[in-house]
Structure 1
Amino acid sequence: MHRISFLFLILFSNILLSQNDIGNNLVKEKFLKYFELPRESVFLHTNKTTYIANEEVWLKGYVFDRHNSKPFSQTSTVHVGLYNVDGKKFNDYHFKAENGYFKGNIAVDSMLASGEYYLRTSTNWMKNFKEDDSFVQKITILNEKPIEKAKSVKEYDIQFLPEGGNLIGDTPGVMGVKVTDINGYGVRIVEGSVFDSDNTQVARFYTSIFGLGKFNFNPKAGTTYVAKIEFSDGSVQTTTIQKPSAIGISFSVKNVDDDRLIISLTTNAATKEAIKEQQFYLLIHKDGHANRIPITFSKNKLFVSRVLNKEVLNKGMNILTLFNPDGKPIAERLIFNYSNLLDSQLEVSKLSTEEDSLSIQLKLLDTSKGIQNLSVSVLPEKTISNNNQNSIYSAFYLKPYIRGFIENPRYYFIDVTEKKENDLDLLLMTQGWSKYDWNDIFKGPPGQFYEFENGIDLEGTIYSKGVTSEDKLLVSFPDGRSRYLDILDNRFLIQKNFPVKGETLDFTLIVKNGKLAKPNIGLNMKLGAIPDEIDTIWKEKVEFEDENSSSEIKVPDLISSNNTISLNEVTVVEDKIMATVESNVFIPKYLKGKMTEVTEDIEFSFPLITEIIASRGYYVREELSFGSTDRLIIRARTVQSFLSGNALPVPVIYLDNVRLTTLDILYRMPTKEVESFLIDKTGAGEGARGAGGVIRIYTRRLPRDYNENYSKDENVFKYQLKEGFEPVKKFYTPKYTSYLSNEFENFGTIHWVPELKTDENGIGTFKILNTLQNNVTFFVEGMSAEGDLISAEQSLIIE
């Protein structure tokens, strides 16, 4: 009722803008100004959506220029926040994007409780706009504690939504119906009926699996209408339909055939008397593209229609806004144009079997789409770990224009049929007005307060005494580049850099007499702000169950831990003892045969010593947590002794034979600084205090390549970056206990290809591990340099 009253007021009053302020000749100009700044959308493709603790979320990101329908090359910094089920931020990550693409991985923290989490992806540029263009992907994490499935409460929200937004008395139109549960998911009903005040049935309707339906409706002025809705459990709910407005225009859209659609405006006698033969305008628009079509009611006619060729439509979403003669929006309808959108199809085939791997070919059937940049997730066909309800199509062509929650948007773009096209049109009809508010558009364009981030600025302070502005600071980067920095008041700035978390910067002070000195450096990064809380979360859809029934998702015993290290998705078998351990006089003789030498492979796979500890079955929590002053907490996963009670015991940790009372010294410690280590969960030799095991760490006395190319430089200050861009790691298939178990078929990962580029023939090839699965499924998303998209799911029988 509130919506109808509002539309009635703006039709015949000056509530929005005065007649002198704007007319139809200025509407399009205001619209174009509002979309003058480019808008970007982002899509995050994860290799699956359900993860076991200590796995990795492997991801590929796509950034899209909506105005030009191409990759957004101006974006080079993308921010991802990890949020819990209540929308509270747990951690944030930063990725470097190039030419509209980025890739990487996020470790699944073993301290995270089982449950639902959200990955929110955004850029600094997006903060210029009132409309939220961030992308949110839901994931599920399985830890030691099972997830109990919630039971749905039988409460329904029933809405009646007239097409175009106007319900007018004595005027035929189309009425939309939306029936949802308490979490906003659609509910299919058995039957709905509408009765007038004489209890005469005037309409019948049903809803789809998403709880959406519609029916023709010609409400009579002064009549009250009631809807009775029957649900599958036999219950019936009665609700009163909102009263129609006495004056206004009904607006509807209908397909004629594949090439044409018809726009219909209908009104009543009272409205016609007021508007006479004045000219209305229909604006067909999207992201700064617009066409204006004049429409006039003929004399003595209460109905007017226009047949439009679909060539006037934009590809994908189109917003049709009806303006009255004073330039005020009075109705709006969203429609979708599938033409030339979903032409890309592909075939997946096995080329050959090579020892423990399979050679796979992916071929696009339409080679006119150009070279595609694809991401491919390979999972067992029976997987239940990938419930991704988004696709690159829904992220770029649907989500940016709709205000509220969309249930399973991917549905409308996979194996599209006429039924799915009708289902999408029903969704759009019941959405009402688009995400863009005309009040905001008329107020003026958004300001450009936030720039595109070209890297990160590093603000530094030199704590050494006697430094002047005449001195220079030389910084050397890991890739071999060097740069001289100016010093002002003991401060310096490294602009537009792409520092990688865990890398080391070398600093040397060059004083005015040309001598070199070792400075004492502190750095602060200006990382893009990520909100601490989000409200764009949605509960999992649940089915109705009996009170006595219960079900839970159990954590699979899937990843092997026997004599292997599987963090970062790589298996490393303990190496044999090297000569450096034997020659280390600080290691007791009885331990030398038990120590593990840190090799280059271990350094590459586990950049931090805490990652090794976590891979051996310990809970590792980094960063400050509520109520704690420790930056690093390490606990055994299980109680090893009855003496520790129910609390998870703390391991005894020695660093170079010194027992640590606080673990801050191990916070972000690079593995390359460690020569050898011993992790003994039994806690042998420690008595009662060894309930959590014992960990012994010995630091490296000299670099591994000391004899070859190491020269000691006392004038270099090394600063290891604890923050920055996420390093790009190579994908490794985890070491599973079995490839033939139900657990692997349900939750296992076979392969992940973040960047597969097709050749001029549309062909791309790659190898996957042969896990002896008979049926494998490939989940593919992609975008070409010309902005052509692809989203596909293809199964393959392995013979």
Structure 2
Amino acid sequence: MHRISLLFLILFSNILLAQTEIGDNFVKDKFLKYFELPRESVFLHTNKTTYIANEEVWLKGYVYNRHNSKPFSQTTTVHVGLYNVDGKKFNDYHFKARDGYFKGSIAVDSMLASGEYYLRTSTNWMKNFKEDDSFVQKITILNEKSIEKAKSVKEYDIQFLPEGGNLVEDAPGVMGVKVTDINGYGVRIVEGSIFDTDNTQVARFYTSIFGLGKFNFNPKAGTTYVAKIEFSDGSVQTTTIQKPSAIGISFSVKNVDDDRFIISLTTNAATKAVIKEQQFYLLIHKDGHANRIPITFPKNKLFVSKVLNKEVLNKGMNILTLFNPDGKPIAERLVFNNSDLLDSQLEVSKLSTEEDSLSIQVKLLDASKGMQNLSVSVLPEKTISNNNQNSIYSALYLKPYIRGFIENPRYYFRDVTEKKEDELDLLLMTQGWSKYDWNDIFKGPPGQFYEFENGIDLEGTIYSKGVTSEDKLLVSFPDGRSRYLDILENRFLIQKNFPIKGEGLDFTLIVKNGKLAKPNIGLNMKLGTIPDEMDTIWKEKIAFENENSSKEIKVPDLIFSDNTINLNEVTVVEDKVKTTVVKNSLIPKYLASRMTEVTERLEFSLPFVTDIIRSRGYNVMEGLQFGSISRVFINSITPSSFSGANMYPVPIIYLNNARLPNFDVLYKMPTNEIESFLIDKTGAGEGARGAGGVIRIYTRRLPRDYNDQYGRDENVFKYILKEGFEPVKKFYTPKYTSYLSNEFENFGTIHWVPELKTDENGIATFKILNTLQNNINFYIEGMGADGSLISAEQNLVID
């Protein structure tokens, strides 16, 4: 008996670090302190998931306070990183949030290679917590090169996952099954069978489309069990099930009806001899809210169950943790309570047809839901460009609590039926322990090392001579506001500002005698950092194909090169740049006729020098890349035979006739600082080393005259912001080659409404371009001021 007691102690202690402080309130107190700081979740709604180069990723973000189930109004800054398929960051973007919402767009760089990318959304506040609460949305970009779909290797991962986490000999319980391919996607099987040592079949099971299944299982001591699984191609795979523990408690949860559920604990004689009638308890918890329920095994009984009213459950996700008499967690199960959460329904209708547009109405069927803030993506019915497997429901109700990858989480919250509720419960049963590690909870609450970002601070330096602390600096913002700034040792600070990338700040120096002077200003801003790499990536789901088959996703010829904006919007289209003879003594005479002059039009369309190079067919990457100390990397998109197989040569770049050893000087260099340029992709005159072409850049011989250019007073210094928050553009519809082509039906965009607010009756209207489509799909996500969520997909037949 002493040996069994020791085994029991070891088994029930291996989940946690050693504890010396035990008491009835110890666990709950630790739990409440761990969740004192509110947790936020974020959801990013993109207008679709597949984009053609030179399109925009139109997006709307929702920030949610999980503690009070309302929009997180304290969050004002949200960071989005763009990562490639290997999890390496390509670029980062910063958005201003208000009242729990943000909106904007990201241009699809024409030099991004065709393939899969990830948008990772996070905040500074999230850094306080060990759990990763960032949201990741996968997108696909189609460029000049087609995507060749990979072929799957028929390798499987088969896992057996006991409900609650414990498989105990001679204790009946439920065993979960998870069958996935090499990329983690579920595989549906024809049949699975469990055989004991005597080759007697003791259980049968099947799996869902996500490779999940379950069966009742009572493992006997000293018996080895083997599973035989048959796949759709006729192949059979055999695997041995893990051995059960000699000591332990099996824990299961089952739904009774709409109002009740039952929890069951089962054990064996060896365990019962140790625990006797000691009290266990169940903690039902979520985001700092908890209910504690005592449970005791009756005398001489190996089984105990409790029927509970669902009123003890929180709305949405619930984590049920079983604690032994010493206050140590020994089993855990996730349960979802969708009571009153998924009832929001709406209908979309056409109100009228006008010359080139349709008037659309969105109406909430439950008027009590009242005022909602929605985002709406409008696409052709036959679209294949929207494969969004996330929704605001799955992002805010499900993913924050689960470890690891969930295949198509949106599925569980669309057109919910009893069958889907059972499938969601099966998913939660096979997920095991929640995202929160009790080791971390018992160590103590997270520290508040990162604050909510309320704008950013701009640190400035005045390079003009003779400036003293008695002088004042006047700054004028684009919205007309002005502010006087103190100067200390030629430095100044603009606090809690939301600078927009590309906008300008005007500075005027007011010296002590009251006169005005034009200062020379430099600014430094510290935007929130975004990781250079991310771990949360998942490959495309690959269908099994014949080895000789090959499928490609081809890039559609869909958008006119002189892309314009419909519905009375305006767009700036780059002029054909003119070639002139520039009277610059630095430019060799034989090159003068080939130079391209930088016009104001070009400056506006392509604000940075790297934008010009990118527009001429080069791959340009800016910012520190993994494994590199350079901030700018430029290479050809076409491999060169001079450089060997699969090599993409780097161009030779001259700045004012001096060859650049690296390209860092071009980082964020404004186009308005250069006078002319020449891009020769043949590399003429450079021999074999010119395989990547040659680029010649000449800066302006005199600094740009800010006064003439902007009509400012001679005492004003204008600083153009190279970095900052993303500007919020008004949505425009690209000019497509045809609205009736298969390409448009598959990849086209009809409309995007980032902020559609319903009135007190739950009604909102908007107009869309009439593209003569007979069927249109509306993808709608939303959140109200009370924290209620909406997610819907509606099809509208146009008469």
Q: How do 1:227-242 and structure 2 match up within 5 A?
A: 227-242=227-242
Instruction: Quote how far apart the aligned CAs of 1:337 are.
Output: 0.5
Output one character per residue of 1:538-571: Cα deviation in whole Å (capped at 9) or x when no partner: 111101112111111111111111x55689x965
Output one character per residue of 1:186-226: Cα deviation in whole Å (capped at 9) or x when no partner: 11111111111111110000111111000000111111111
Instruction: Quote how far apart the aligned CAs of 1:712 are.
Output: 3.3
Secondary structure of the structure 1 residue equivalent to 2:199? coil
Distance 1:623 1:103, change over 3 A: same
Q: CA contact under 8 A between 1:193 and 1:228: conserved in structure 2?
A: yes
Query: Which residue of the partner structure matches residue 368 of structure 1?
Result: 368
Output one character per residue of 1:284-321: Cα deviation in whole Å (capped at 9) or x when no partner: 10000101111111111111111111111111100001
CA distance in 2, matches of 1:383, 1:224: 51
Q: CA contact under 8 A between 2:284 and 2:292: conserved in structure 1?
A: yes
2:52 counterpart of 1:79: no
Query: Which residue of the partner structure matches residue 329 of structure 1?
Result: 329
CA distance in 2, matches of 1:618, 1:355: 42
Higher deviation after alignment, 512-521 or 605-614? 605-614
CA RMSD, aligned part only? 4.1
2:271 counterpart of 1:271: yes
CA distance in 1, matches of 2:458, 2:306: 59
Query: Which residue of the partner structure matches residue 165 of structure 1?
Result: 165
Secondary structure of the structure 1 residue equivalent to 2:431? coil
Query: Which residue of the partner structure matches residue 522 of structure 1?
Result: 522
Instruction: Quote how far apart the aligned CAs of 1:514 are.
Output: 2.6
Instruction: Quote how far apart the aligned CAs of 1:29 are.
Output: 1.1
Query: Which residue of the partner structure matches residue 105 of structure 1?
Result: 105
Distance 1:272 1:647, change over 3 A: closer
CA distance in 2, matches of 1:627, 1:500: 30
2:184 counterpart of 1:184: yes
Instruction: Quote how far apart the aligned CAs of 1:637 are.
Output: 7.7
2:145 counterpart of 1:139: no
Higher deviation after alignment, 646-655 or 717-726? 646-655
Query: Which residue of the partner structure matches residue 50 of structure 2?
Result: 50
Instruction: Quote how far apart the aligned CAs of 1:359 are.
Output: 1.0
Instruction: Quote how far apart the aligned CAs of 1:505 are.
Output: 1.2
CA distance in 1, matches of 2:203, 2:444: 44
Secondary structure of the structure 2 residue equivalent to 1:24? coil
CA distance in 1, matches of 2:522, 2:693: 36
Output one character per residue of 1:141-197: Cα deviation in whole Å (capped at 9) or x when no partner: 111111111111111111111111111111111000011111111111111111111
Query: Which residue of the partner structure matches residue 469 of structure 1?
Result: 469
CA distance in 1, matches of 2:542, 2:719: 50
Structure 2 letter corresponding to 1:341: L
Q: CA contact under 8 A between 1:321 and 1:333: conserved in structure 2?
A: yes
CA distance in 2, matches of 1:623, 1:279: 58
Distance 1:639 1:350, change over 3 A: farther
Distance 1:680 1:753, change over 3 A: farther
| Gapped regions of structure 1 (runs ≥ 5) | none
CA distance in 1, matches of 2:725, 2:573: 29
Q: CA contact under 8 A between 2:564 and 2:734: conserved in structure 1?
A: no
Structure 1 letter corresponding to 2:538: W
CA distance in 1, matches of 2:748, 2:482: 44
Secondary structure of the structure 2 residue equivalent to 1:397? helix
| Gapped regions of structure 2 (runs ≥ 5) | 585-591
Instruction: Quote how far apart the aligned CAs of 1:233 are.
Output: 1.1
Query: Which residue of the partner structure matches residue 550 of structure 1?
Result: 550
Query: Which residue of the partner structure matches residue 533 of structure 1?
Result: 533
Output one character per residue of 1:271-296: Cα deviation in whole Å (capped at 9) or x when no partner: 11211111111111000010111111
Distance 1:784 1:705, change over 3 A: farther
CA distance in 2, matches of 1:548, 1:284: 53
Query: Which residue of the partner structure matches residue 24 of structure 1?
Result: 24
Q: How do 1:290-301 and structure 2 match up within 5 A?
A: 290-301=290-301
Instruction: Quote how far apart the aligned CAs of 1:470 are.
Output: 2.5
Structure 1 letter corresponding to 2:285: H
Distance 1:512 1:762, change over 3 A: same
Q: How do 1:498-513 and structure 2 match up within 5 A?
A: 498-513=498-513
CA distance in 1, matches of 2:269, 2:80: 55
2:390 counterpart of 1:394: no
Q: CA contact under 8 A between 1:570 and 1:735: conserved in structure 2?
A: no
Instruction: Quote how far apart the aligned CAs of 1:615 are.
Output: 6.5
Secondary structure of the structure 2 residue equivalent to 1:430? helix
Structure 2 letter corresponding to 1:767: K
Q: CA contact under 8 A between 1:23 and 1:325: conserved in structure 2?
A: no
Instruction: Quote how far apart the aligned CAs of 1:466 are.
Output: 2.6
Structure 1 letter corresponding to 2:205: F
Secondary structure of the structure 2 residue equivalent to 1:791? strand
Structure 1 letter corresponding to 2:747: F
Structure 1 letter corresponding to 2:43: F
CA distance in 1, matches of 2:770, 2:703: 42
Output one character per residue of 1:58-93: Cα deviation in whole Å (capped at 9) or x when no partner: 110000000100000000011111111111111111
Query: Which residue of the partner structure matches residue 722 of structure 2?
Result: 722
Distance 1:201 1:673, change over 3 A: same
Secondary structure of the structure 1 residue equivalent to 2:94? strand
Q: CA contact under 8 A between 1:164 and 1:250: conserved in structure 2?
A: yes
CA distance in 1, matches of 2:558, 2:632: 28
Q: CA contact under 8 A between 1:703 and 1:710: conserved in structure 2?
A: no
Q: CA contact under 8 A between 2:113 and 2:142: conserved in structure 1?
A: yes
Query: Which residue of the partner structure matches residue 434 of structure 1?
Result: 434
Instruction: Quote how far apart the aligned CAs of 1:471 are.
Output: 2.4
Q: CA contact under 8 A between 1:382 and 1:746: conserved in structure 2?
A: yes
Distance 1:262 1:574, change over 3 A: closer
Query: Which residue of the partner structure matches residue 710 of structure 1?
Result: 711
Structure 2 letter corresponding to 1:447: G
Secondary structure of the structure 2 residue equivalent to 1:543? coil
TM-score by length of 1: 0.88
